Homo-oligomer: A and B are copies of this chain.
Amino acid sequence: MPKRVRTITDLAKLAGVSPGTVSRALAGKSLVNAKTREKIEALAREHDFRLNQMASRFRRQKTGVIGVVIPLGHDRRQQISDTFFMTLLGYLADELTERGYDLMLRRVIPDKDEDWLDRFIGSGMVEGTIVIGQSDQFDRIEDVADGYRPMVVWGNHQEGQRHCVVGSDNRLGGKLAAERLIASDCQSIAFLGSTDPIEFAARFAGAKAVADKMGVSISVLPTHLNPDRAADEIAEHFASSHSDFDGIFAATDLLAVACLKEMQSRKIAVPGKVKLIGFDDLPIASQTQPPLTTVRQDIAAGARCLVDLLLRRMNGESTESLVLPPKLIARQTA
């Protein structure tokens, strides 16, 4: 029985040529006789031959792999934005595949592993790195940014930061939300959620800027980001507070949905008595009753930009950070 054709050398013997020629033929290099190439390709097909990628990549010093890390800081474990991040991840996978790269995924818990980013980068397995979400690791990311070019981060942009980031203009998003609430006659706005994550802080800041300018009061109703924990906290807010707000800007859609539910069970009319705006425009947003007014981030575009910038940086170019404008999606809660 015929031994399996496993290496390029096996194939070379069959074809009666040298391994080098097989390599060239299979790599689609120009300087190979058409006849020779055809013969080799036919043989390869026939014997179901596949290049050993480990060897090839090792030899070329190219892994062909882009690493994607999701740091799970503060209470982000199985957290609210997961849906958003995971959707982004899906688009990244599509985009990278299209460009011929593989995607290596790692979720890390920074508290447990100080060294998470260096370890990933230094693993030698990835040619470039995309970090999804700064979590509470802004400083650590800044630390490596100077010494490691092929990295792009999804997250919030800070004046003067060193790492290349693409993300939504969270501040603008906050502005849009506040403007909408105020245009709907809200006099007193509550920001629902945490302002710990830098992105959310920016959303709040944007809203506050508008509120302050318009002489509308704004305050934070703090919650955890996990919707289940948040549900109780929201209930408490409604129970204890003087309910002195007529507009709510939720840090994310999931929080907004939880809040909507609480208000409905308390028979608070939405948008009649209280207006509500979310953030993200997840699929659920259009499925609530009434459908949720929210601020949309274009996730697919975000993924495309991340990959674009990364590939350019891997090419030695230097790149500016990119801030994508979010869009108000007016539905019925505000």
Contact = CB atoms under 8 A, between A and B. Distances in A.
B125 A102 contact: yes
Contact of A123 (B53, B70, B231, B289): B53
Contact of A124 (B50, B70, B254, B260): B50
A71 to B, nearest CB: 12
Given A58-B54, A289-B265, A106 B104 contact: no
A119 to B, nearest CB: 8
A103 B70 CA distance: 13
Contacts of A286: 228, 231
Interface in A82-97: 82-83, 86-87, 89-90, 93-94, 97
Contacts of A13: none
Interface in A286-332: 286-289, 291
A252 to B, nearest CB: 12
A170 to B, nearest CB: 23
Contacts of A265: 289
A108 B102 CA distance: 12
Chain B CB within 10 Å, residue with most, of A48, A86, A291: A86
A227 B53 contact: no
A108 B65 CA distance: 17
A106 B68 CA distance: 13
Contact of A82 (B87, B102, B123): B87
Contact of A52 (B124, B227, B258, B284): B124
A269 to B, nearest CB: 13
Contacts of A289: 260-261, 264-265, 289
Contact of A107 (B82, B90, B261): B90
Q: Kindly report how many copies of this chain are found in the complex they form together.
A: 2
B94 A107 contact: yes
A57 interface: yes
A102 B106 contact: yes
Chain B CB within 10 Å, residue with most, of A48, A68, A283, A291: A283
Interface residues of A, number: 52
Nearest to A256: B287
B102 A103 contact: no
Contacts of A51: 124
A63 interface: yes
A105 interface: yes
Contacts of A103: 104-106
A122 interface: yes
A157 B215 CA distance: 62
Contacts of A164: none
B50 A54 contact: no
Interface of A: 48, 50-55, 57-58, 61, 63, 65, 68, 70, 78, 82-83, 86-87, 89-90, 93-94, 97, 102-108, 122-125, 227-228, 231, 254, 257-258, 260-261, 264-265, 283-284, 286-289, 291
15 contacts: A50-B122, A50-B124, A53-B125, A54-B58, A58-B58, A65-B104, A70-B93, A86-B90, A102-B106, A103-B106, A227-B287, A231-B286, A258-B287, A261-B287, A265-B289
